[in-house]
Amino acid sequence: MTKRIAIIQFPGTNREDESIRAIAAAGLEPVLVRWNNTGDLASFDGYFLPGGWSYEDRIRSGVIAAKDPLMKIIKAAANKGKPVIGICNGAQILVEAGMIPGIENRVEMALAPNRTGFWCFWTHLHCSAPQGRSVFNKLIHPGEIMSVPIAHGEGRFVTKNPAVITSLRKNNQIIFQYCDARGIITDAFPTNPNGAILNIAGLCNPAGNVLAMMPHPEVASFKKQLPGFHGTFEQGEQLAPAHLIFQSLADFLRSKP
């Protein structure tokens, strides 16, 4: 049976279409679930928190959505090992919900305002964790470099607790880091577009079933979406490297009974 992924729509979410498309292209069944009509949310095989500005990002990005009752259901599902991915605003929600980095199951990091405001441009992501460290890099080799755009104003992963950083490194929770075209990780803008500590672009929880990332692989999923695409229509429709994130999810779910 096709595995079902709940695409969560909060008021203010704006990345539903492309998230649905990316999930469907991985052979999974995307189902849009509205914030006030969550029905059988617990029965889904996985959860996708797309980008946008849930609840107008009042107070802080993602903080109100993190307290939405539906997050309790998602949290419980995550605790049972079901996969959860949050992209951009979705990542902010996972951080505010204490699910990422999830070391002590409380809010341990923040996604602070970028050093120089909102930016939307293509970045390079260095795949930093061992293959399969998380559900979402099951099919991605360490050291691979992918082109993925960002579109955010508050994407700077920070923490005031150095122990968190030590744990992230020790646990290999840093899945993606911003790098330059050659794969070199430097802090300078625009390589590190927001000033995130250790150039963090994506983090998983210790169990590896929850991923929060600021860049948008859902709009880097088909070759036609990549900068400077040059080829035939058939080539344009082929899947792009960043789609391996969703294929990894599908691969993980297929391996489950």
Partner 1 sequence: MRVDDPLIPITDFSDEQLLQWMKQHGIVLKANEARRVVELIGRNPTITELHIFNIQWSEHSSYKSSRKILKQLPTSGSNVILGPKEDAGIVEFATLHGERYGIVVSHESHNHPSQVVPFEGAATGVGGNIRDVLCMGAKVLAIADPLRFGNPQGEQQHKVKYIANEVIKGIAGYGNPLGIPNLAGDAHFSDGYDGNCLVNVVTLGLVKEKDIIHSSAPPHADGYDIILIGKATDNSGFGGAAFASLVLDEKDKDANKGAVQVPDPFLKNVLLRATYAVFEEARKHNIVLGFKDLGAGGIMCSTSELCQSGGFGCTLDLDKVHVSMELPSFMIACSETQERFCWISPPSFTRTILKMYNETFALPDIAEQARASVIGKVTREKKYLITSHGNIVCNVPIDAVTSGISYDRERKKPSKHLVEPSLAEPQEYRSLLLHVLSHPNVCCKKSIYHRYDTHVLGLTIIPSGMADAGVMAPLHGEKPAVALSVDSNPFYNRISAYHGAMLAVAEAMRNVAAVGAVPACLTDCLCYGNPEVPEVFDDFCEGVRGIADAAKNLPRKGTTEPVPVISGNVSFYNDTKGKPIDPSPIIACVGILDDYSKAITLQLKHAGSKLFLIGKRKDEMGGSVYYQLHSKLGKQLPLLDFAVEKKQMDLVIDLINQRLVLSCHDISDGGLLSAVVEMMLGGDADGTLGVELLPPLSALPLSRVFFSETPGFVLEIPEQHAAQVYTMSAAAGVELIPLGKVIASPHLKVSGIFDVPLEELRSAWTTEVLS
| Site residues for partner 1 per CB under 8 A | 9, 11-15, 17-18, 21-22, 34, 36-37, 51-53, 56, 117-122, 149, 151, 216, 218-219, 221-222, 224-225, 227-233, 235-237
List 124, 126, 152, 216, catalytic entry:
216
216 given a catalytic annotation: yes
In whole angstroms, how close is the CB of 163 to partner 1 at the nearest point?
35
Q: Which is nearer to partner 1, 4 or 21 (CB)?
A: 21
Q: Which is nearer to partner 1, 138 or 216 (CB)?
A: 216
Please report the sign of the dihedral spanned by the C-alpha atoms of residue 102, residue 169, residue 210, residue 216.
Answer: positive
Q: Which is nearer to partner 1, 88 or 168 (CB)?
A: 88
Reported for 1-4, long-range contacts at CB under 8 A and 24+ positions apart, including other chains, are 2/27, 2/28, 2/29, 3/28, 3/29, 3/45, 3/46, 3/250, 3/253, 3/254, 4/28, 4/29, 4/31, 4/43, 4/44, 4/45, 4/46
In whole angstroms, how close is the CB of 142 to partner 1 at the nearest point?
26
179 given a catalytic annotation: no
Q: Which residues contact 68 (CB under 8 A, 6 or more apart)?
A: 10, 35, 54, 55
Phi, psi of 250 (to 5 degrees): -65, -40
List 16, 154, 218, 243, catalytic entry:
218
In whole angstroms, how close is the CB of 202 to partner 1 at the nearest point?
17
Among the listed residues 209, 201, 232, 180, the one whose alpha carbon sits nearest the alpha carbon of residue 76: 209
List 16, 88, 108, 243, catalytic entry:
88
In whole angstroms, how close is the CB of 83 to partner 1 at the nearest point?
21
Strands of 21-170, DSSP E = 29-34, 46-49, 84-87, 110-112, 119-127, 145-152, 156-158
Quickly count: other Cβ atoms within 10 Å of residue 203's Cβ.
28
In whole angstroms, how close is the CB of 162 to partner 1 at the nearest point?
33
Which SS3 state, helix, strand or coil, does residue 252 take? helix
Q: Which is nearer to partner 1, 52 or 113 (CB)?
A: 52
Q: Which is nearer to partner 1, 15 or 133 (CB)?
A: 15
88 given a catalytic annotation: yes
- Give catalytic residue positions: 88, 216, 218
